[in-house]
Amino acid sequence: MLSRRAGGGEGSSNVFSMFEQSQIQEYKEAFTIIDQNRDGIISKDDLRDVLASMGQLNVKNEELEAMVKEASGPINFTVFLTMFGEKLKGADPEDVILTAFKVLDPEGTGSIKKTFLEELLSTQCDRFTPEEIKNLWTAFPPDVAGNVDYKNICYVITHGEEKEE
What pLDDT sits at residue 47? 92
What pLDDT sits at residue 90? 63
Which amino acid does the sequence have at 134? K
Contacts of 47 (CB under 8 A, 6+ apart): 34, 59, 64, 67, 68
CATH 3.30.530.20 given to domain 14-89: no
Looking at residue 112, the DSSP 8-state letter turns out to be E
What pLDDT sits at residue 164? 56
Instruction: Compute the distance between CA of residue 87 and CA of residue 80 in angstroms, rounded to an integer.
Output: 11
CA distances 17 to 48, 69, 94, 115, Å, are 31, 25, 20, 41
Q: Please state the domain extents for the chain.
A: 14-89, 94-159
Mean per-residue pLDDT of the chain: 83
**pLDDT tens digits, one per residue of 11-30:** 445 677 778 888 889 889 99
This prediction has a pTM of: 0.51
**Three-state DSSP state, 21:** helix
Of 67, 76, 103, the closest CA to residue 12 belongs to 76
Topology of domain 94-159, per CATH? Recoverin; domain 1 (1.10.238)
Same CATH fold, 94-159 and 14-89?
yes
The number of beta carbons lying within 10 Å of the beta carbon of residue 129 is 10
